[in-house]
A and B are shown apart, each in its own frame.
Chain A
Amino acid sequence: MKKSQKIISTIVFVVLLTAAIVKCADILEYKEARKKYTPFYESETNFDVIFLGTSHMWNHVLPMEMWDMYGIASYNWGYSNCTPAENYYLIQDILKYTSPKVVVMDVYGLTEYDDSHNGKYQTDRIEQQHVQFDSLPVWSLNKAAAAKDVFDDYDSREDFIWNFIMYHNRWTELGQSDFDYDITTEKGSYFITGLGTGTFTPIPENEKTEIDSVCYPYYLNLIKYCEEKGIQVLCAYIPFAAGKEQQRIANTIGDIVEEYPNCDYINMLTKDILNFDTDLCPDNEHLNYSGARKVTKWLGRYLSENYKLDDYSGNHSWMSDYQSYYDYKVKTLKEQTTLTDYLVQLADDDFVVEAEVYDKKLMNSERLMLLYENANIEPEFSATDQKCCAKLKIYSAETKERIEEVTFVCDNAKNPDIFHISKVIEQ
């Protein structure tokens, strides 16, 4: 072989090998990041608002609902246990793909991770950190900097740079979902279904505490970084069933950001947005769909009134995306198995509902009636002898098409418990 042939041969081999490895890495990669962030990278429009933070942001702020209510184009980059240290690096890559006017940062994560090894990431949930970083390109210097800094005490931090190092042995788990998976329609968010029980005992707003956290400098650096880029920052304490110490922290954070002219702070815990009888999910801390819609509505109004954001209401791309999101909501609705779970999902002005109740004890249940009221439903009591105890006829608010007619039976007819009113599954 001539020298030139050898060189060409080697180059071709290296290119083919690289392509093969990239393909293998692509197949073996855990798809969560891809499902969550593909619409972000493929978007035809700019995102005026970027949401960052923990699961409180991820589960409680719904961009598609915010667009529907206010025409705001936003994307939710929140995820479980995503710390301010991680957010500081994430925003630097995010800004390569979009030019937001406002970054909304959930500040719950500021003090919650100090018990983990280095305080910058949640050590026993390393896979969750991967969801946040997996979608960033391999060649991202920013990602490498994050791996070196945020995960400085993690033995395998190079797998954040090239996640194939972690995922290469996923071959035992490969399944249909690795080849045929649904991309999120929720613009990065994820609403939780179901109903929980919890309380919230507010404390006085002047009750404060000292904040000293490893993530604190990153939090401030993020604000400064956005300031340099001409981006407004809204720090928000997203509501949930917060304890007293968390409320004290929420009361204190506003003082820290006062000196930054591009930064505002809202303590949403004090805004009386939620009803903890209807808005908590089964883990009794996070919000369900009903609660998330309320938070989204409040936050969306605040953003509309305080920031100059473009109106994307008539944007065809968003309209098409909303249709996909609506279909997803309908699919999720039909997957619910109890009356309370249905009522939580029906707290949504995309649906119109005719409801009948056949059991007097249910009509006397304050909490159940609260759930109906929360969903804007007036149930009719009918004393007719029905084998079921309740019925819902669900229609699309826009097309008036009937979506579903579903009946429910009480698991314990003598002592009905609102959490155990099960859907009758048609054979």
Chain B
Amino acid sequence: MLFNSLSFLIFFPIVVLVYFIIPEKGKQLWLLLASYYFYMSWNAKYALLILASTIVTYLSGLLIEKVKRADCDADKKVRLKKFVVAGSFIINLGILFYFKYFNFVMDLLTKAFAQIHIQLHVPVLDIVLPVGISFYTFQALSYTVDVYRDDIYAERNFFRYALFVSFFPQLVAGPIERSKNLLKQLAQPQKFRFEKARDGLLLMIWGFFLKIVLADRIAIFVDTVYGNYGTYQGWYIAVATVLFAVQIYCDFAGYSIIAMGAAEILGIDLMENFNAPYLSTSVAVFWRNWHISLTSWFKDYLYIPLGGSRKGKIRKYFNKLIVFLVSGLWHGANLSFVIWGGLNGIYQVIGEIFQPFRDKWVKILHLNRDSIGHKIMQGMITFVLVDFSWIFFRASGYHESLAIIKSMFSCNNPWILMDGSLYTCGLDSKNFWLMIFSVFVLLFADICKKRGIKIRSVIVAQDYWCRYAVMIFAICFILIFGIWGSGYDAAGFIYFQF
């Protein structure tokens, strides 16, 4: 059940209505049932997997707590706790590995052995990737570590814990929540609050705008160009790559924001997952503002355990590269994702290495780092670097990535920006300019965010007639200009008499 589907638009109001009507005792169970229903609408049998992950990590929390209270020496306690954490990780990552990475690894091994003329006969399993497995697995594992680190108590109420793992707004696409935030909120049944519901609705409206007006519209252009990069060369690919950066941002951020809005209507505050990432002035800053929940997960549960920046510069750079390579792999079982992640890691490492060099030249040239011009330049360079790496993310594989890059530089055809050629890439001129307009709306919103202006608060502060007008206009705008439904094909409506 996608957020931008009719079934969700029926499902969600029913869930909200019943949630606020039923007694407090039943609220948790209702949300749990709704969350499992939501998940099973994708594939019913994979609910067993999320249940398994839930049980393993729930028990791990209880076991760790039991060890803490056990009457034995401290070293043994630490060993036992680590054993439980390791067990939780092995089982959960084992499940993740099987469903997401088994075929990929087997394929890699086959190719690697083929290089030394050994033919491996490995089974190719027909495995359907359970939706959201990467998200809920990480969320559940974070709980195990949080209990181990005494950041949170071990949750005794199984149903509450199961709800933490499966809470439907953030289940399939994040944000990857922390137990400290979400579990504690779920422990308190929420009463309906008009202001939160209104704020949540505004968030959902913004999320739907990003997703179905912008992301899904840009996807038409990008899919056309990337799907035919032999024909659409040079500047076509450059434009498509720039647009893909916006597409993936809007797609991902849109979904997260809808999740936040839906949760807020239910009285739950989820963490911010994106913070105007393309206004960042370096790749490192970009990654502090992009998919914040995942970046912070890797920082807390991989980078810091690896030593973080505590063991010298070389080790720090190495740790960063590891984190980004793993992050790439997390996004998909394909070498191109690993390259994408690795590239972002390399950008940051190089950025840090050359920092003193840059500082020196800023001083020599008397540049003002705080000037808008300088920040815009930094922002553009950051965008270009990040955007280049998106080619590896978008392409269907490593070889295709290289082919696309080659096609981009194979010809210099800037006239396509002026002569209407861009309207031949899946979007007619009206849709193309609507897309450009919407990008500027997004830019405006992100600039406001960076400057600490909360547009929702501005809207809410207006008189009721203005608030109504803005919200009604926004909803109608999304319904009319969004990419949803069967859509009208003008060619199909050419008047046939017979």
* Cα of A425 to Cα of B468 in the assembled complex, Å: 56
Contact among A17, A28, A55 with B480 in the assembled complex (CB-CB below 8 Å): A28
Q: How far is the CB of B207 from chain A (nearest CB, A)?
A: 18
Contacts of A158 in B (CB 8 A): 6
* Cα of A166 to Cα of B498 in the assembled complex, Å: 22
Residue pair A17, B472 in contact (C-beta under 8 Å): yes
Residue pair A169, B488 in contact (C-beta under 8 Å): yes
* Cα of A171 to Cα of B433 in the assembled complex, Å: 13
Instruction: Say whether B476 faces chain A, with CB atoms less than 8 Å apart.
Output: yes
Interface string of B465-498 (1 = CB under 8 A from A): 0001001100110011111111111101101111
Instruction: Say whether A80 faces chain B, with CB atoms less than 8 Å apart.
Output: yes
Q: Which of B431, B464, B492, B493 has the most CB of A within 10 A?
A: B493
Instruction: Say whether B357 faces chain A, with CB atoms less than 8 Å apart.
Output: no
Beyond A169-B480, A169-B487, is A17–B493 a contact (Cβ under 8 Å)?
Answer: no
Residue pair B496, A170 in contact (C-beta under 8 Å): no
Residue pair A159, B492 in contact (C-beta under 8 Å): no
Residue pair A9, B464 in contact (C-beta under 8 Å): yes
Residue pair B486, A30 in contact (C-beta under 8 Å): no
* Cα of A223 to Cα of B498 in the assembled complex, Å: 25
Contacts of A126 in B (CB 8 A): 492
Residue of B nearest to A164 (CB): B479
Contacts of A156 in B (CB 8 A): 485-486
Which residues of A (128-172) have their CB < 8 Å from a CB of B?
128, 155-156, 158-159, 164-172
Contacts of A169 in B (CB 8 A): 480-481, 483, 485, 487-488
Q: How far is the CB of B184 from chain A (nearest CB, A)?
A: 28
Residue of A nearest to B494 (CB): A127
Q: How far is the CB of A251 from chain B (nearest CB, A)?
A: 24
Give the A-B contact count at a CB cut-off of 8 A.
Answer: 88
Contact among A9, A55, A173 with B490 in the assembled complex (CB-CB below 8 Å): A173
Interface string of B349-361 (1 = CB under 8 A from A): 0000000000000
Instruction: Say whether B428 faces chain A, with CB atoms less than 8 Å apart.
Output: yes
Residue pair A12, B497 in contact (C-beta under 8 Å): no
Residue of B nearest to A7 (CB): B194
Residue pair A16, B472 in contact (C-beta under 8 Å): yes
Beyond A17-B472, A168-B479, A171-B481, is A59–B497 a contact (Cβ under 8 Å)?
Answer: yes
Q: How far is the CB of B9 from chain A (nearest CB, A)?
A: 11
Interface string of A373-401 (1 = CB under 8 A from B): 00000000000000000000000000000
Beyond A20-B472, A171-B480, is A286–B431 a contact (Cβ under 8 Å)?
Answer: no
* Cα of A9 to Cα of B471 in the assembled complex, Å: 13
* Cα of A6 to Cα of B483 in the assembled complex, Å: 33
Residue pair B498, A285 in contact (C-beta under 8 Å): yes
Contacts of A6 in B (CB 8 A): 194
Residue pair A13, B497 in contact (C-beta under 8 Å): no
Q: How far is the CB of B337 from chain A (nearest CB, A)?
A: 31
Instruction: Say whether A190 faces chain B, with CB atoms less than 8 Å apart.
Output: yes
Contacts of A159 in B (CB 8 A): 485-486
Q: How far is the CB of B189 from chain A (nearest CB, A)?
A: 19
Contacts of A170 in B (CB 8 A): 488, 490
Instruction: Say whether B430 faces chain A, with CB atoms less than 8 Å apart.
Output: yes
Contacts of B475 in A (CB 8 A): 17, 20-21
Instruction: Say whether A411 faces chain B, with CB atoms less than 8 Å apart.
Output: no
Residue pair B493, A155 in contact (C-beta under 8 Å): no
Q: How far is the CB of B383 from chain A (nearest CB, A)?
A: 30
- Interface size grouping (class) on chain B: 20 to 34
* Cα of A119 to Cα of B496 in the assembled complex, Å: 20
* Cα of A10 to Cα of B481 in the assembled complex, Å: 25
Residue pair A166, B486 in contact (C-beta under 8 Å): yes
Q: Which of B430, B483, B487 has the most CB of A within 10 A?
A: B487
Residue pair A24, B464 in contact (C-beta under 8 Å): no
Residue pair B496, A24 in contact (C-beta under 8 Å): no
Q: Which of B464, B476, B488 has the most CB of A within 10 A?
A: B488
Which residues of A (306-345) have their CB < 8 Å from a CB of B?
none
Residue pair A24, B479 in contact (C-beta under 8 Å): yes
* Cα of A351 to Cα of B484 in the assembled complex, Å: 52
Which residues of B (176-212) have their CB < 8 Å from a CB of A?
194
Contacts of A28 in B (CB 8 A): 480
Residue pair B476, A165 in contact (C-beta under 8 Å): no
Residue pair A166, B488 in contact (C-beta under 8 Å): yes
Which residues of A (171-193) have their CB < 8 Å from a CB of B?
171-173, 190, 192
Q: How far is the CB of A1 from chain B (nearest CB, A)?
A: 7
Contacts of B484 in A (CB 8 A): 165, 168
Contacts of A286 in B (CB 8 A): 497-498
Residue pair B468, A167 in contact (C-beta under 8 Å): no
Contacts of A205 in B (CB 8 A): none
Instruction: Say whether A404 faces chain B, with CB atoms less than 8 Å apart.
Output: no
* Cα of A30 to Cα of B495 in the assembled complex, Å: 12
Instruction: Say whether A283 faces chain B, with CB atoms less than 8 Å apart.
Output: yes
* Cα of A164 to Cα of B479 in the assembled complex, Å: 9
Residue pair A190, B497 in contact (C-beta under 8 Å): yes
Residue pair B464, A127 in contact (C-beta under 8 Å): no
* Cα of A21 to Cα of B473 in the assembled complex, Å: 10
* Cα of A188 to Cα of B471 in the assembled complex, Å: 40
* Cα of A270 to Cα of B492 in the assembled complex, Å: 36
* Cα of A140 to Cα of B483 in the assembled complex, Å: 27
Residue of A nearest to B431 (CB): A172
Instruction: Say whether A96 faces chain B, with CB atoms less than 8 Å apart.
Output: no
Residue of B nearest to A283 (CB): B498
Q: How far is the CB of B448 from chain A (nearest CB, A)?
A: 24
Instruction: Say whether A414 faces chain B, with CB atoms less than 8 Å apart.
Output: no
* Cα of A83 to Cα of B141 in the assembled complex, Å: 58
Q: How far is the CB of A233 from chain B (nearest CB, A)?
A: 25
Contacts of A10 in B (CB 8 A): 194
Residue pair A55, B497 in contact (C-beta under 8 Å): yes
Residue pair B488, A12 in contact (C-beta under 8 Å): no
Q: How far is the CB of B309 from chain A (nearest CB, A)?
A: 50
The 5 closest A-B pairs by CB, nearest first: A156-B486, A165-B485, A6-B194, A172-B430, A55-B498
Between A and B, 5 residue pairs with Cβ closer than 8 Å are A16-B472, A159-B485, A168-B484, A168-B487, A169-B481
Residues of A within 8 A of B (CB): 1, 6, 9-10, 12-13, 16-17, 20-21, 24, 28, 30, 32, 55, 59, 80, 125-128, 155-156, 158-159, 164-173, 190, 192, 283, 285-286
**18 other A-B residue contacts (CB within 8 Å) besides A30-B493, A165-B484, A171-B481:** A10-B194, A30-B488, A55-B497, A127-B492, A127-B493, A155-B486, A159-B486, A166-B488, A167-B488, A168-B479, A168-B482, A168-B484, A168-B488, A169-B480, A169-B481, A171-B430, A173-B488, A283-B498
